[in-house]
């Protein structure tokens, strides 16, 4: 079989692979704890369910307009006004099958072969692969000071005449760090001057802790939406815990949305109508459910930080939001893939290797699950790695003895 070069070069999503591994182990009856998880455990908001059910009850489930149901776009206009303090028109919005497809469609619409796209490390695993899929060149910018916050000096050094776009995700998967207003202001100013697009992946913007304020990038833009460089992607997956509905959206200038609509019309025609109805229900419904989800996750984060403190030799930066952290495990191993495999084999805990996010020697740990997942998962990791922890532990109903150190 002759697989195309581009398809052959695309790596499997490591986070989805870990999900599958955890599922298979659970199916075999293993007491797996999933600290690799990328979705909250809440039930779908009732307003989303009712709205989807009402649509189903009509029995009239057909194609929707390619760019999304007008009523959903109206809800997104309102959401943008409320959360971004920005008035946008329905013609500035296109709904896609998850923020993932939104990002891909933006890249497909803007990137010519060999255009460079700056990706700020640590980064979401899918960014470099998506850039490669549109024949662009991912250019990774790593903060040289070892922190997880990008610096303008590193970005300015990485920009070339081929730079077309910078991908920004704040609060950030995998570090949980939210970028400062000062940095965003400098970045937007720089990009407007240089004519570089900035794609703001705002998927975690509602999951910000300790009452910190998240600022939309629009606030720093001098140019208006039609002539400006800021593109926004958002969705319902993380804030509403509605990952399975696959709804995301892009806000961009009208010309871009027009072209993205043509592109999407040839790929998926449109997003599933029942999912769009569910998204509309979530966006128009009571928003206190987002606050209670955030509070639960924030509490889990505090517990995770306490657990990590108890660990000898682990350094970690406290997250500002999301449901991830990215502790430095180099005191135990510099090979995060081997470490993650070891923890799965010995302790039945799923983690994601930092290497996949451009941060070797680190592990991405998620606290999106239950408190019990966090405390038990961390106890098992300590047992497997930290010689100062007790040598015996129960994994499920099996008593395990550490005999490798
Ligand atoms: C940074 C980031 N952007 C986008 C997505 C994709 O979101 P969706 O499920 O809406 O496609 C994810 C999912 O993990 C993510 O972490």
Q: What is the pLDDT of residues 175-187, one digit of tens each?
A: 999 999 999 999 9
Q: Is the CB of 40 under 6 A from ligand 1?
A: no
Q: Is the CB of 235 under 6 A from ligand 1?
A: yes
Percent of the chain with pLDDT over 70: 100
C-alpha 155: how far from chain center: 21
- Looking from the CA of residue 247, the nearest atom of ligand 1 is 10
- Looking from the CA of residue 101, the nearest atom of ligand 1 is 11
Nearest to 284 by CA among 67, 46, 87: 46
Mean pLDDT over the full length of the chain: 95
| Helical segments of 348-393, H only | 371-385
Q: Is the CB of 248 under 6 A from ligand 1?
A: yes
Q: Are 165 and 134 in contact (CB under 8 A)?
A: no
Q: Are 279 and 48 in contact (CB under 8 A)?
A: yes
Q: Is the pLDDT of residue 144 over 80?
A: no
Q: Are 76 and 82 in contact (CB under 8 A)?
A: no
Give dist(CA 287, CA 293) in Å, integer: 10
Q: Is the pLDDT of residue 11 over 90?
A: no
Nearest to 105 by CA among 266, 275, 276, 272: 266
CA angle (254 as vertex; 250, 259 as ends), nearest 5: 75
pTM: 0.96
How far, in Å, is the centroid of ligand 1 from the Cα of 328? 23
Instruction: Check residue 353 and report its DSSP letter.
Output: E
pLDDT digits (tens, 9 = 90+) for 294-348: 999 999 999 999 999 988 899 999 999 999 999 999 999 999 999 999 999 999 9
How far, in Å, is the centroid of ligand 1 from the Cα of 323? 12
Chain region(s) in the chain for CATH 3.40.640.10 = 46-284
How far, in Å, is the centroid of ligand 1 from the Cα of 181? 22
pLDDT value of position 10: 87
- Looking from the CA of residue 103, the nearest atom of ligand 1 is 4
- 341: CB partners within 8 A, 6+ apart: none
Mutate to test the pocket of ligand 1, among 36, 98, 200, 356 (most ligand atoms within 8 A of CB): 98
pLDDT digits (tens, 9 = 90+) for 287-305: 999 999 999 999 999 999 9
Nearest to 375 by CA among 317, 293, 301, 271: 301
- Looking from the CA of residue 102, the nearest atom of ligand 1 is 11
Joined together, the tokens standing for residue 248 give 């995301």
- Looking from the CA of residue 124, the nearest atom of ligand 1 is 1
Q: Is the CB of 203 under 6 A from ligand 1?
A: yes
* Architecture in CATH of 46-284: 3-Layer(aba) Sandwich (3.40)
Across 249-268, average pLDDT:
98
Distances (CA, A) of 165 to 158, 211, 298, 347, 356: 12, 31, 32, 41, 21
pLDDT value of position 13: 79
Give dist(CA 303, CA 294) in Å, integer: 14
Percent of the chain with pLDDT over 90: 90
Q: Which CATH class is domain 5-43+288-401?
A: alpha beta
Q: Is the CB of 134 under 6 A from ligand 1?
A: no
Using 50, 70 and 90 to split pLDDT, how confident is the model at 145? Answer: confident
pLDDT value of position 12: 82
pLDDT digits (tens, 9 = 90+) for 209-242: 999 999 999 999 999 999 999 999 999 999 999 9
pLDDT value of position 20: 85
Using 50, 70 and 90 to split pLDDT, how confident is the model at 18? Answer: confident
Using 50, 70 and 90 to split pLDDT, how confident is the model at 88? Answer: very high
Residues present in the chain in total: 405
CA angle (34 as vertex; 31, 35 as ends), nearest 5: 135
Q: Is the CB of 201 under 6 A from ligand 1?
A: yes
Mutate to test the pocket of ligand 1, among 102, 203, 240, 272 (most ligand atoms within 8 A of CB): 203
Residue tagged 């250019």 (tokens): 139
Instruction: Check residue 121 and report its DSSP letter.
Output: S
Nearest to 218 by CA among 181, 247, 249, 193: 181
Mutate to test the pocket of ligand 1, among 18, 76, 125, 126 (most ligand atoms within 8 A of CB): 126
Instruction: Check residue 178 and report its DSSP letter.
Output: P
- 380: CB partners within 8 A, 6+ apart: 33, 343, 347, 348, 349, 393, 395
């Amino acid at each position: 079989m002759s697989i195309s070069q581009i398809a052959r070069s695309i790596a499997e999503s490591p986070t989805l692979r870990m999900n599958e591994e955890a599922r298979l182990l659970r199916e075999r009856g293993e007491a797996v704890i999933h600290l690799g998880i990328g979705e909250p455990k809440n039930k779908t908001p009732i307003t989303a369910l009712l709205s989807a059910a009402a649509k189903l009850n009509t029995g009239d489930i057909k194609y929707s307009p390619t760019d999304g149901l007008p009523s959903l776009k109206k809800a997104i206009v309102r959401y943008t006004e409320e959360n971004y303090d920005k008035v946008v028109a329905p013609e500035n919005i296109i709904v896609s099958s998850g923020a993932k497809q939104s990002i891909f469609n933006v890249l497909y619409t803007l990137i010519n072969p060999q255009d460079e796209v700056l990706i700020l490390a640590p980064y979401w695993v899918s960014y470099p692969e998506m850039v490669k899929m549109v024949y662009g060149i991912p250019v990774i910018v790593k903060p040289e000071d070892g922190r997880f916050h990008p610096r303008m000096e590193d970005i300015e050094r990485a920009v070339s005449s081929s730079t077309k776009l910078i991908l920004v995700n704040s609060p950030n998967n995998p570090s949980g760090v939210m970028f400062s207003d000062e940095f965003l202001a400098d970045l937007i100013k720089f990009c407007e001057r240089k004519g570089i697009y900035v794609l703001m992946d705002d998927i975690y913007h509602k999951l910000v802790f300790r009452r910190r304020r998240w600022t939309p990038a629009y606030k720093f833009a001098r140019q208006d939406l039609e002539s400006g460089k800021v593109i926004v992607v958002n969705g319902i997956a993380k804030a509403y815990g509605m990952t399975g509905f696959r709804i995301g959206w892009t806000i961009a200038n009208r010309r871009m949305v027009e072209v993205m609509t043509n592109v999407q019309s040839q790929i998926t025609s449109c997003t599933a109508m029942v999912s769009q109805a569910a998204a509309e229900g979530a966006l128009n419904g009571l928003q206190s459910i987002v606050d209670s989800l955030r509070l639960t996750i924030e509490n889990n984060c505090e517990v995770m930080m306490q657990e990590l403190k108890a660990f000898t030799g682990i350094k970690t930066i406290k997250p500002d939001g999301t449901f991830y952290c990215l502790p430095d495990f180099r005191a135990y191993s510099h090979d995060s893939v081997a470490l993650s495999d070891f923890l799965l084999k010995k302790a039945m805990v799923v983690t994601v290797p930092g290497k996949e996010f451009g941060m070797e020697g680190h592990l991405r740990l998620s606290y999106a699950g239950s408190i019990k997942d966090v405390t038990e998962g961390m106890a098992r990791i300590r047992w497997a790695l930290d010689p100062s922890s007790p040598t015996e532990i129960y994994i499920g109903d099996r008593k395990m003895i550490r005999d490798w150190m």
